Amino acid sequence: MAYGLLIDYEFCTGCQSCEVACKEEHGIPVGQWGIRLLDDGPWKCSDGKYNWNKIPVPTRLCDLCEDRTSKGKQPFCVHHCLAGVMQYGTVEELAKELELKPNQVLFVPQPYHYG
Amino acid sequence: MATRPKIDSGIEAFNNDLDKPWQFEEDGYTVTRGCAWSAPGCHPVGCGIKFYVNEDGILEKVEGDENQPITQGRLCVRCLTLPDMTYHPDRVIYPMKRAFEDRGKNKWERITWDEAYEIIETNIKDIKEKYGPESIVVFGGTGREGGPMCGPYGQAMLGTPNSCYTQSGYACYIPRVAAATFVTGATYPEMDYAGGLPGRYDDPMYKIPEVMMTWGKEPLPSNGDGFFGHSVIDCMKRGSKLISVDPRTNWLATRAVYHLPLRPGTDAALGMAMLNIIISEGLYDEEFVSLYCYGFEQLAERVATMPPERAAEICGIDVEDIYGATRMYANAQNAAILWGLAIDQKANGAQAGHCILALEALTGNLDVPGGQLLGDVTDSLADLGFGWSSLGPELQNKIIGLKEYPAYVAIVLNSHADLTLEAMETGEPYEIHAGFIASTNLLAGTCAAQPKRWHDAMQKLDFVFAADCWITPTIQCCADVILPLATFAERESGVAVHYGASPNMTGSVVNAVQVGETKGDLEIQYEIGRRIMPDNYAKFPTLYDFMEEFRFGNNIDYNELKEEVTRQRKVTYKKYELGLLRPDRKRGFNTPTGRVELYSTMFAQFGEDPLPYYEEPQRSPISTPELMEEYPFVLTTGSRVYAYFHSEGKQIPLLRELNPDPWIEINPKDAEKLGIIDGEWVNVENEFGRCELKAKITPVVRQGLANAQHGFWFPEEDAEEPHLYGVWRCNINNLMPHKFVGKLGFGAPFKCIICKIEKLNK
C-alpha cells in the first residue's frame, strides 16, 4: 500500500514548522532538509491580483516518519502544521480528498538512491 | 458536555495522546504536559506542549499537545526548537556577577543565588536611602511572563513607582488598550475565535465570522497579544472572507477579497471614511446605536468631514475599494476586526483605534459570536497593579510623566518611556541611579527608540541587575548581576490567553526539567521582594500562596490546574445586556455615560479631542515634502517573522537558518533605480540615524515604501564594548526619533517614518 502527504497550498502559510519539526525529529542539520518549503510569489497577474503559493516539498530524505507511522502516529510535520494543511494517509484515501477540494497536491515520497 | 472539536489535521484517526493525564510514561520518557509562555517564544498564547524527558532528566524533545483546545497539537518553530535553546552552551543557567569597572567586558563570574540576592539587596537599599526609591527604574519588555510583571517588579518588589516599558510612546498594545478603555470601558476587544467554548468552532453558541478584517496586523507569525494567529486560517477554511488593511501585500492579503494598501500612518483617515460610509448609507445597527451608544450625532458630523474620496487621496488607495470593503464589512451578519500593532505605532494611533472601535460598535459586532469578544469587568491578569497602593501617595505622585502624560501613566502604571530616558540623561525631575533589566533586550532594536542614547544613559547607572536566559547586548553593556531565567519547561506558573483580557483559556506552566539553577519570574519577584519589601509579601507564607493570588487571583488552585493542564473559561455574549461589564452590575458599558462613547468623555477629560480626527505622520510626503528628496522612502518596521520573538532566538541554528540576516523589503522598481540587487547590504539612513540591512527585493512593498526588520544582534560576534555583538550595525531603531508621540503621550512612528536607501559601497 502506498502512503502519501496531501498538502493544501491554498492555505499553506509558509510557517516552516514542517521543516523544523522534521529536522528536530530526524536530527537533520542546518543546510539539509527532509521537507522544504518552496515559495512561488508574490507576482502580479494581469487581473491585478497576486499569485503567492507556498508548498512544502518532501526531499529524498523523507521516509514519512516511518518510526512514528509504524506505531500508528502521524508524521511529525503533519502533527505540527500550524495551518493544518497537511494530511497523511494511503494514496487511495488522500486521492478522494483531492477530489473534494482544489488547490491541493499529493506527494508520495520514498527515500531513493542510485548506485 | 460537547463532543471534542474536530482537529484539522485529523489526528483523531491516529494513535494520539488525547485525554492522556498531565504526566505519563512512554518509551522510557516521562512525558509532562504544559503550556508555553515565553521565555522563549511568544506572547501568552499558551500553546499546548508535551515535554519528553529521559531517564537522565534531559529534555530530549517536545511535541505539540493535541489536548490544548486552541492550538490542538500545532507548534511553531520557536517552540519546536526549545530543546536546542534549553541546552545551548551560551545560555545563562547560574547567577553571575561582574565588577563595576568591567562593565562592557565579558568578565562574568558564577555566584550563588544567595550572593546574588545579597548584592542586589545591599545596593538597592543603599541607593534607596541615598537617593530615594524613585531613583530606581525597572526596564520591562513585552510578551514574556516578565513583561506584564514590569509594574509589580517595581512597585511591589523594589518599591519604586518607575516601572518602564522603554518603547517610545509605549507604542505597543497600550495605545489600543487606552482607546478601548476610554471608548468602551473594556480592554482590547479581541476577535472571537471560540477559544473558551468546549466545542470550539462547532460549538452551538458560536458563529464563524462572515468577514474578518485584518488591520495593521499580521497575526500568522506574530500571535499578537496572545491571539493564536492561525485561528484566522481555521476560520477561512470554515468560510470566513477576508479584508486586509495593510501597506504591504503580505501573504494573507493575497487571500483577501479586498486589500487596502494604505500609506503608513493614514489609518485614522481610512477609519473615518469607513464610518462616513456606514452612517451616510445607513448600514449601522440602529437598535444597538440607540440603546448603547453615546455621541452618534457628533461622530456623524465629524466623519462627514472625511469623504471617502478625500481618504482615498490621503491613503493612496482606490476609493471604490474603500466603498466595497466598508459595505462588505458592515453588511456581514457578524464580522471581526483584527487590529494590530500598526495602530499603536503612530502619534495619531489613538484616533485610528477610536475609529475601529466605533466601526465595531456601529455594526453591532461588540460581544457577539464571531465578533469582538469583550472581557468581563473582573477579567485580566490578577497581577496588574500589584503593589501600587503600597507605595503611598507621595511616591505614586513621583512617577515620571504623571504631570505631562497622566492618561498614559494612569492606564498602565508605567513611567513615560521618553521622559524616563530624559530623566536618566538630565537628572530632571530627579536623578536615576539603579535599574533592573527585566526580560528586555531594549538596545537591540526591539523597543527603545534612539537606542544609543538609552545605552549611554544606562551605562551611567550606579547599579544594574538583570534577569534573562542570555547575556544580551543590553545586559553586556551595563549589568552587574545576572539572574538566570527559566524557560516554560523549568518553572511553575500559569498562562492566561490574551493576558486574561478575554474569556478563552488558562493553562499550566510546569517545571518538567531543572536546568542549572534557573528560576522563573514569580520566584525571583517573591524572593527579592521578601528581602527588600517584606511587607508586600508577608501574607504569602510560600511561593504557591503568592502564585495563587498574584497569578490566578485566588480563583485557581495551581495543583488542580497542573492536572487539568488547560481550563477553558466561561463565555457569555452580549454581557452589556446582562450587567456583566460594570462593577455595579447595571446594563451597559463601563464608561462614564454607561454607553459606548463614540464621543469620548474620557478623551475630553484628558484634554484630547473627544472625536476621532486625522493627523499626518510627523514625517511624510505630505507633512515634510521638503525632506522627501533626500529621504524618498516611507519606512515601516517591526513586521514579524516565524523564526524569532523580537531579538530572541538568534543563537539557535535551526532558527537562524530561516532568517540569517536582517532585511529590508524594497520594491523591484525602486531597487532597479538605485542599482541594488537582491541580497545586497544597503545603507538605510534618515536624520535620526542609520543602519545596514540586506536588501530583499519584493513587490510585497509598493514603490516608495520600505519595510525593515527589527530586533537583530549577532551573538556570534565580539561580545564586548564597543562592538556589543554588532548591536548598532543593523539596528533599525537608530532611525526612530525620540518623543515623536501623540498628544496623550501614546504612540510613536515606528511604522511611519522616512528614510533613504543606498548601496553600501557607492
Distance CA B235, CA B208 (A): 6
* Among the partner residues B75, B237, B700, nearest to A11 by beta-carbon distance: B237
Q: What is the pLDDT of residues B257-300, one digit of tens each?
A: 999 999 999 999 999 999 999 999 999 999 999 999 999 999 99
Percent of chain B with pLDDT strictly greater than 70: 99
| pLDDT tier, B7 (very low <50, low <70, confident <90, very high otherwise) | confident
List beta partners, residue B511.
B490
B659 domain residue, yes or no: yes
For residue A42, the domain's CATH number is 3.30.70.20
Task: Report whether pLDDT(B212) > 50.
Answer: yes
For residue B154, the model assigns a pLDDT of 98
Evaluate whether ipTM surpasses 0.90.
Answer: yes
Q: What is the pLDDT of residues B9-64, one digit of tens each?
A: 889 999 999 999 999 999 999 999 999 999 998 999 999 999 999 999 999 999 99
For residue B379, the model assigns a pLDDT of 66
For residue B501, the model assigns a pLDDT of 86
Residues in B closer than 8 angstroms to A29, CB to CB, are: 653
List beta partners, residue B683.
B692, B758
B interface test, pick of A7, A12, A24, A88 with most B CB neighbours within 10 Å: A24
Contact B561, B18 (CB under 8 A): no
Contact B596, B366 (CB under 8 A): yes
Q: A 43-72 residues with CB below 8 A of B?
A: 43-44, 49-52, 54, 71-72
* Among the partner residues A24, A42, A78, nearest to B254 by beta-carbon distance: A42
Parallel, antiparallel, or unpaired for β B663-666 and B689-697? Answer: parallel
For residue B380, the model assigns a pLDDT of 62
B707 domain residue, yes or no: yes
Pairwise CB contact (< 8 Å): A74 & B11: yes
For residue B2, the model assigns a pLDDT of 45
Q: What is the pLDDT of residues B218-228, one digit of tens each?
A: 999 999 999 99
CA distance B534 to chain A (A): 45
Q: Which residue of A has its CA nearest to B7?
A: A84
Q: Which residue of B has its CA nearest to A101?
A: B237
Per-residue cell: B111: 555566584
- The reported pTM is 0.97
Q: What is the pLDDT of residues B341-363, one digit of tens each?
A: 999 999 999 999 999 999 999 99
Q: Quick check: helix, strand or coil at residue B507?
A: strand
Span B370-374, mean pLDDT? 96
**Is A102 part of the contact surface with chain B (CB cutoff 8 Å)?**
no
A115 domain residue, yes or no: no
B433 domain residue, yes or no: no
CA distance B237 to chain A (A): 8
Q: What is the pLDDT of residues B307-328, one digit of tens each?
A: 999 999 999 999 999 999 999 9
Alpha-carbon torsion, ordered B86, B89, B91, B93, to 10 deg: 80
Pairwise CB contact (< 8 Å): A30 & B657: yes
B423 CB-contact burial (10 Å; exposed 0-12 / middle 13-18 / buried 19+): buried
* Number of domains observed in the structure of chain B: 1
B692 domain residue, yes or no: yes
For residue B382, the model assigns a pLDDT of 61
Per-residue cell: B399: 512617577
Contact B90, B653 (CB under 8 A): no
A113 domain residue, yes or no: no
Parallel, antiparallel, or unpaired for β B705-708 and B633-637? Answer: parallel
Q: Which residue of B has its CA nearest to A29?
A: B654
Q: Which residue of B has its CA nearest to A51?
A: B254
* Number of domains observed in the structure of chain A: 1
Pairwise CB contact (< 8 Å): A52 & B254: yes
Distance CA B362, CA B360 (A): 6
pLDDT < 50: residue spans in chain A: none
A18 domain residue, yes or no: yes
Pairwise CB contact (< 8 Å): A42 & B7: no
For residue B741, the model assigns a pLDDT of 97
**Is A36 part of the contact surface with chain B (CB cutoff 8 Å)?**
no
Task: Report whether pLDDT(B3) > 80.
Answer: no
Q: What mean pLDDT is reported for chain B?
A: 96
Q: What is the pLDDT of residues B503-562, one digit of tens each?
A: 899 999 999 999 999 999 999 999 999 999 999 999 999 999 999 999 998 899 999 999
Domain interval for residue B685:
625-759
Q: Which residue of B has its CA nearest to A71?
A: B15
For residue B731, the domain's CATH number is 2.40.40.20
Residues in B closer than 8 angstroms to A75, CB to CB, are: none
A114 domain residue, yes or no: no
B269 domain residue, yes or no: no
Pairwise CB contact (< 8 Å): B64 & A23: no
Domain interval for residue A29:
3-107
Span B452-473, mean pLDDT? 98
B179 domain residue, yes or no: no
Q: Which residue of A has its CA nearest to B83?
A: A24
Per-residue cell: B557: 488552585
Residues of B engaging A, defined by a Cβ cutoff of 8 Å: 7-11, 14-16, 61, 63-64, 66, 72-77, 80-81, 83-84, 220-221, 230, 233-234, 236-237, 249, 251-255, 642-643, 653-655, 657-658, 698-700
A112 domain residue, yes or no: no
A interface test, pick of B6, B7, B8 with most A CB neighbours within 10 Å: B8
B200 domain residue, yes or no: no
B146 domain residue, yes or no: no
* Among the partner residues A17, A79, A86, nearest to B77 by beta-carbon distance: A17
Distance CA A91, CA B174 (A): 51
Residue A62 CA, distance from chain mean position: 10
Per-residue cell: B431: 536623578
**Is A13 part of the contact surface with chain B (CB cutoff 8 Å)?**
yes
**Is A32 part of the contact surface with chain B (CB cutoff 8 Å)?**
no
Q: What is the pLDDT of residues B694-747, one digit of tens each?
A: 999 999 999 999 999 999 999 999 999 999 999 999 999 999 999 999 999 999
**Is A24 part of the contact surface with chain B (CB cutoff 8 Å)?**
yes
For residue A115, the model assigns a pLDDT of 80
Pairwise CB contact (< 8 Å): A15 & B221: yes
